[in-house]
Amino acid sequence: MLIAITRQVSSAINQCELTHFERTPIDLVRARSQHHAYEQALRDLGVMVISMPEEPNLPDSVFVEDAAVVLDECAVVTRPGANSRQPEVESIARVLAPHRQLFTIQAPGTLDGGDVLTVGRTIFIGLSGRSNQAAIDQMDSFLRPFGYIIQSVPVTGCLHLKSAVTQVKIDTLLINPAWVEKDNFRNVKFIDVDPSEHYAANAVLVSESVLYQPVYPRTLERLEALGIHPILVDQSELGKAEGALTCCSLIFKA
C-alpha cells in the first residue's frame, strides 16, 4: 500500500513566498477545490491519503513535499531554504515518525524536498536558491549507508529541480532542458517538454500511473505519443504560488 501525506490549503496562501513569479490573486475556494480533486485522484489510485488540517499562519504549508524526503528505509526532515517555511517541518515530522526512522537537516544546510528526485538508488539534489551543498553533504552522510548515491545537479531558471525534471516511467524522465542539463542523468530516456510550456516537466508517478496537469496540452501530446496516458488533475490555482503537482504530497510505501 502507498500512503500520501497532504495538507489543506492555508487561508493565508496569498502571502506565499514567490521567487520567479509576479504576485497574482489566488482564489482560495478554487485552490481548495482543486486540491481536494488532487487528493481524490490519489485515493482513486488506491493510495491512503493522510490529510492534515490547514496551517493558517503558514502560507506555503500545503506544499508538504518541501518538508521531508521519504524513502523506503528512512525519512529526512528538511530545513527549507525560505525562513518563513521552516516552521512547517515540525508537524510533518510528527506524522512521519510512526512510519520511518527520521534524520534532520541542520544549519547551515538548507533543503527543499522539491529539489530531490529519486531514481532507483540514485538521489539527485538540485543546487538551487533553496537547497545548498551543506544539506547535500548531510544527505550523503544519512543515506549512503543505505546504499544510495547522492548527486548534486545545478538548476537555473526555476525554483526547484522538480520544476525542471520528474520521472514518468521507471526509465524515463520528463525534462525542460533549458533549466537542467540531461548529462546529469545516466541510463534513462527523456521526453522534452514543448518549448512553449516551460513549467510542463512536473508530473507525479504513482506506481505505473501518472498525474499531470491539463494546462500543458502540447507536452501532454508528447507523453501520449509515447504511450503515457496521464490522469489529468488541474492544480493551476496553486501554480500561482509556484506550486506544482509533486509539491502537494509526500507519497511512500506503507
Of all helices (H) and strands (E), which one includes residue 26? none
> Pick the catalytic residue: 16, 158, 247, 248?
247
> Pick the catalytic residue: 160, 198, 229, 248?
160
Q: Which three cell numbers stand for residue 108?
A: 547551515
Query: Residue 111's beta-bridge partner residues?
Result: 79
**Separation in Å, CA 84 to CA 61, 81, 88:** 10, 9, 9
Q: Which three cell numbers stand for residue 170?
A: 521507471
Spatial distance between the Cα atoms of 147 and 163, rounded to a whole number of angstroms? 26
247 in catalytic set: yes
- Is the sign of the CA dihedral 14, 15, 18, 23 positive or negative? positive
Beta strands 122-127; 231-232: pairing state: unpaired
16 in catalytic set: no
Spatial distance between the Cα atoms of 13 and 103, rounded to a whole number of angstroms? 29
Catalytic residues: 160, 247
